Amino acid sequence: MASRRGALIVLEGVDRAGKSTQGRKLVSALCAAGHRAELLRFPERSTEIGKLLSSYLEKKNELEDHSVHLLFSANRWEQVPLMKEKLSQGVTLVVDRYAFSGVAFTSAKELQLVDAAARGEFGQERYENGASQERALQCFHQLMRDTTLNWKVVDASKSIEDIHQEIRALSEDVILSAMQRPLGELWK
Ligand code: 2DT
Ligand code: MG
């Protein structure tokens, strides 16, 4: 039997929404249920570009805003051949942040230029502050108006287990519907 394509499931949201925890739990649950599923994350910090981005996020280097945006994009592009191969082999990919974070966090930066109401920092890395996260959230809401993408909103204030069950049920549905549709293209 020809292997059916896997689904591309992207977890997006602000920092500390629980994306990484949920991504790990989702992959384990899907695998336990007999699906082939793997976890990816962006930025993927292990590549050369990823190392540069990691130092940038850790504030160990400075990069020009436009070029850092393109590096985040390049960091996704460098994984595309692997992602396409996995998806076409029937592996479902659960991705912790993708191009939507790219848009949201760059837009948040541009908004910052007009909105200087900075708040106290609550994290070590770049963007880990309330003002950046709030602007990124506004941008995620705008991106969700694109109804060609199958967005599902999950309330991150619920318990880890409740959120997990919700995401898991949504994922089972999307894996089934992805099988009916050929692999398409998504902007990166
Ligand atoms: P975490 O590793 O904690 O998720 O933080 N980001 C991410 C961008 O600015 N552009 C992008 O394209 C992507 C994928 C969001 C990663 C930080 O990097 C930001 C938070
Ligand atoms: Mg972070």
**Span 109-149, pLDDT tens digits:** 988 755 544 444 567 899 998 889 999 999 999 999 998 89
* Residue having the nearest C-alpha atom to atom 11 of ligand 1: 102
| Residue 19, phi then psi, degrees to nearest 5 | -60, -45
CA 27 to centroid of ligand 2, rounded, Å = 20
Residue 92 near residue 35, CB atoms below 8 Å: yes
- Residue in 47, 57, 97, 111 to alter for ligand 1 test, most ligand atoms within 8 A of Cβ: 97
Q: At 95, which helix (H) or strand (E)? A: strand 92-96
Is the CB of residue 186 below 6 angstroms from any atom belonging to ligand 1?
no
- Residue in 21, 73, 105, 112 to alter for ligand 1 test, most ligand atoms within 8 A of Cβ: 105
CA 32 to centroid of ligand 1, rounded, Å = 29
pTM assigned to the model = 0.93
Q: Residue type for 26, please?
A: L
DSSP 4: P
Tokens representing 32 are 């336990």
Pair type for strands 8-11 and 37-41: unpaired
SS3 9: strand
Task: Give the pLDDT of residue 186.
Answer: 87
Give the tens place of pLDDT for each residue, 27-67: 999 999 999 999 999 999 999 999 999 999 999 999 999 99
Is the CB of residue 154 below 6 angstroms from any atom belonging to ligand 1?
no
Task: Give the pLDDT of residue 168.
Answer: 98
- Residue in 101, 103, 187 to alter for ligand 1 test, most ligand atoms within 8 A of Cβ: 101
Question: 144 or 3: which carries more pLDDT confidence?
Answer: 144
